[in-house]
Amino acid sequence: MLTIAELTTQDAPAAAAIHRAAGALIPDYDTSLHSAEEYVAFYRDTVMPKDELWGAFEGDVLRGFIALLPGWIDHLYVAPASHRRGIGTSLLQSAQAIQSELRLYTFQSNKNARAFYERHGFLIEEMTNGERNEEKMPDITYRWSRD
């Protein structure tokens, strides 16, 4: 059974591992830009203090998570072994239930994410050449609104 619960800093290693594993599936995304320890520190020291983080758990195993800022999805990742099981949809619908408008960035090459967000009512707001992101990969801003 899937349970949605708020993440704590103790969940940083699991969130970082999911980010790296899911990120490795994105065409042209280089997860080796940072070490596993740097990913953990990023979640523990940067994301968790500023974002609202919710995880999807099966028992005590984290299967996916969403990091929210007002009006933004900062991160949404699901462990690859748990893809296509409704976990991302559950996390996204939880965010849509509490915020009336959401934006997010994803890479243009991430066709699976693009299809997922478009299926859930997100529309392309902007496409860029990647100059604004660390990876320098072309990206997309998506927007969703309840109205």
> Average model confidence (pLDDT) for the chain?
95
The pLDDT, as a whole number, for residue 134 is 87
Number of helices followed by number of strands (H, E) in the chain: 5, 7
Domains of the chain in sequence order: 2-145 (3.40.630.30)
Q: What is the pLDDT of residues 85-143, one digit of tens each?
A: 999 999 999 999 999 999 999 999 999 999 999 999 999 999 999 998 988 999 999 99
The continuous run of DSSP H or E covering 121 comes out as none
Task: Please name which of 108, 45, 50, 54 lies closest in space to residue 77, comparing C-alpha atoms.
Answer: 54
The pLDDT, as a whole number, for residue 75 is 97
- Tokens encoding 64: 């996916």
Nearest-angstrom CA–CA distance, 28 and 68: 25
pLDDT of 28 higher than 90 = no
**DSSP H helices in 24-146:** 36-42, 48-50, 87-98, 111-119
Strand segments (E) across 8-60: 52-58
The pLDDT, as a whole number, for residue 12 is 97
Q: What is the pLDDT of residues 55-85, one digit of tens each?
A: 999 999 999 999 999 999 999 999 999 999 9
Answering whether pTM is above 0.75, one says yes
- Tokens encoding 144: 């969703």
Sequence-distant (6+) residues with CB within 8 A of 82 are 63, 64
pLDDT of 30 higher than 90 = no
